[in-house]
Amino acid sequence: MKRSHSQQPLSSVRARWRRDTVELSAVFAAVAVADLVANIVVHGHDGPVLLLASALALGATAVWHSWWTHRHTHAPPGTITSTSSRSAAAAATADHAETITAPTAATPPEEVALWRIRVTVADSPGSLASLCRALADIPVNIVSMQAHPLAEETVDEFVVRASPLLAPQELSRTLVAAGGSEVWVERADAHDLVDIPTRVLTMATRTAHDAAELPLALRQLFGRCRIRSLPGEQLDEDELDGAVMRLRDPAGGVVELTRLQPPFTPTEFARARALVELDAQLGPRVPEDRATLRVSGERAPHAMGEIAVRRAEPGDRAAATAMHDRCSARTLRQRYHGPVGDVDRYLAHLLDPRHGQTLAVESEDGAIVALAHLLWDDDAAEIAVLVEDAWQRHGIGGALVQRLTELARTAGVDTVYAVTTAANSGMIATLRRLEVPLDYQVEDGTLVVTAHLSATPALAAR
C-alpha cells in the first residue's frame, strides 16, 4: 500500500526536531558573542586595538589563502600535484608543443603535411570515436572522412592535416593503439581535399564530355592504380577480388584495374561500375575541338600557311589508312619501330578514344596529313607522331608534341615518353625543345625518351 505525502516516518520527524533545536541554539550563541564583543569594544580600554588586530589578521589570512591557491591547484584525485612533478610535466608539454603543433586552415601550406589514411576497425559502436580521439591527441586535424562498410568490419578513410615533423610511423602506431588494423598511410595533395561526391560528379561530367576521360577519371578516383584494356577477353559479370577489379568494357573486352595497396573496397567497386555504365549509356563521343596550325617554311605543300588540327575519332580510320599508304617505308619504320604489316589493326586501337587522345591534321582538301597520339599508360602517357613525307620539316611535328604535352598536363599526367628509333633525330630534337628534364634509354636500336613535365616551372606557367 502506498504511503500518502501527509504521512511521514517518525524518524524523519525526530531528525527535523533535532536540527531545528541545534540551529536555534547557534542563533542564541551568536547573539551572546556579538553582545560580548560590543561591550568590550564600547566600554573596554582596548577596543580600538582589538578591532585593528582583527582586521590585520583577516588581511593576512586572505593573502596566505591566495598564495596557497596559486601554488596548489585544485586537481582531481590521481593527477599531478607536487611541484617537481608538475614542473616536469610542464617541460614535457612545452617540448611536445615545440615539435608537434596541430595545424589549422590558416596555417601556411609549407607548414602543413597532408596525409591520406585508411584503417580497418570493427563495426561496433565507439570504434570511430576512438580513432578520432587518438588522432586529436597526436595532434592532427581531420579534414575529411568517409567509411567503406564491409561484412563485419569498416574501412575508415581520413584526409588529415598534420605538422611536417610528424612521421607516418607515428600515425600508424597511434591508430593501431586505438584499435585499428591494416593501416595504410600515404601523402595527399590539394585534390584530396575535395569531397568525394563533388569529385565523382566532376569526373562524371568530364567522362560524359569525352570518352577518353574514362581511364583518367578512374585513376583520379582510386589514386595510383594500373588500368589495362583487354579487348579480346569476355566477362559475364563484373568482378572484384581484393587488389584486382575487372569491369566489362562498353566498347568490348574488359577493363582491368589493379591496386595492391590499399585493396579495393565494395564502395569503390560500385563507383567504378557507375562510371563505366555511364560511359556505356553515352556511347562513343569525341568533343569538337578544332584549331589552326601555322605551317613554317616557303616550300609548304599547296602554298598553305595554316592548316586545321582537331580531335580524331574512329570514323577517321579510312582517311588515316590512306595517309599511311602515302607514307614511305622509312617514315613508317620510325613511327612503328619496324615493318608495318596490318595498319588497319593499329589504327583501330589508336583511334579509340578510350585508350587516349588523338589529334588529326587536315589539309585544305580534307585529307589527313598527320596524326599525333597521347596514349594512357598507368601514371604516364606515351606520345607518338606520324607526319606524311610531303608535310615534314615544316614544324608540324613539333607543334603537335607541344599540344600533346599540354593535353597531358591538363589530364594530370606529369610524365610522358616517346618510343622511336635511335636514328630519329627529328623526334629527339622536338623533345629537347620542350625544355624539360629528359631520360634516355637505348635497347636493341629502340630509343625511349622520357620527359618529366612537372619538373619545369616555365612549362607549367605556359
Instruction: Give the confidence band of 41 by pLDDT, cuts at 50, 70, 90.
Output: low
Q: How much is the pLDDT for 134?
A: 92
Instruction: Of 164-178, 282-296, 354-368, 369-383, give the lowest mean pLDDT range.
Output: 282-296
Average pLDDT over residues 22-42: 72
Q: Higher pLDDT residue, 317 or 294?
A: 317
Answer yes or no: are the C-beta atoms of 251 and 284 closer than 8 Å: yes
Which is nearest to 370 in space by CA: 355, 353, 383, 389?
A: 389
Q: Is the pLDDT of residue 166 over 70?
A: yes
**For 59-117, what is each residue's pLDDT tens digit?**
777 777 676 655 444 333 333 333 333 333 333 333 443 445 556 656 665 578 899 99
Check residues 355 and 85 and name the one with the higher pLDDT: 355
Rounded distance between C-alpha atoms, residue 184 and residue 182, angstroms: 6
Cell numbers at 25, concatenated? 541554539
Given a cut of 60, whether residue 255 has pLDDT beyond it is yes
Q: Is the peptide bond between 139 and the residue preceding it cis, with omega within 30 degrees of 0?
A: yes
What is the reported pLDDT for 106? 60
Paired with 186 in beta bridges are 116
pLDDT of residue 370: 93
Q: List residues bridging with 120 in a β-sheet.
A: 155, 181
* Statement: residue 31 has pLDDT above 50: yes
CA pair distance 229, 410, nearest whole angstrom: 22
Cα 452 to chain centroid distance, Å, stands at 22
CA–CA dist 353, 312 (Å, integer): 8
Q: Which of 54-63, 185-194, 418-427 has the lowest mean pLDDT?
A: 54-63
pLDDT digits (tens, 9 = 90+) for 182-231: 999 988 877 777 777 887 888 888 788 887 778 878 887 887 788 887 87
Q: Delineate the domains of the chain, giving CATH numbers in brackets.
A: 104-192 (3.30.70.260), 196-282 (no CATH), 290-461 (3.40.630.30)
- Tell me which H or E stretch contains 458: helix 457-461
Q: Which residue has the higher pLDDT, 325 or 21?
A: 325
**Confidence class of residue 251 from pLDDT cuts 50, 70 and 90?**
confident
pLDDT above 70 coverage of the chain, percent: 77
* Residue 133, pLDDT score: 92
Q: What percent of the chain stands above pLDDT 90?
A: 20
Q: Say what the pLDDT of residue 32 is.
A: 76
Phi then psi for residue 405, to 5 deg, are -65, -35
Tell me if 453 sits within 8 A of 436, measured CB to CB. Answer: yes
Over range 16-23, report the average pLDDT: 72
At 447, is the secondary structure helix, strand, or coil? strand
The rounded distance, in Å, linking the Cα atoms of 438 and 435 is 9
Query: What gap in Å lies between CA 284 and CA 351, rounded to an integer?
Result: 11
pLDDT of residue 429: 86
Give the DSSP per-residue string, 366-388. Answer: S-EEEEEEEEEETTEEEEEEEE-
Q: How far apart are CA 217 and CA 1, in angstroms?
A: 75
User: What is the average per-residue pLDDT within 341-369?
Assistant: 82
Residues recorded for the chain: 462
Q: Are strands 415-421 and 153-162 parallel, antiparallel or unpaired?
A: unpaired
The amino acid at 360? A
Residue 96 grid cell: 611536445
pLDDT value at position 68?
Answer: 61
Mean predicted confidence (pLDDT) in 354-379: 87
Mean pLDDT of the chain, nearest integer? 78
Please state the pTM of the whole predicted model. Answer: 0.58
Q: 146 by DSSP, 3-state: which?
A: strand
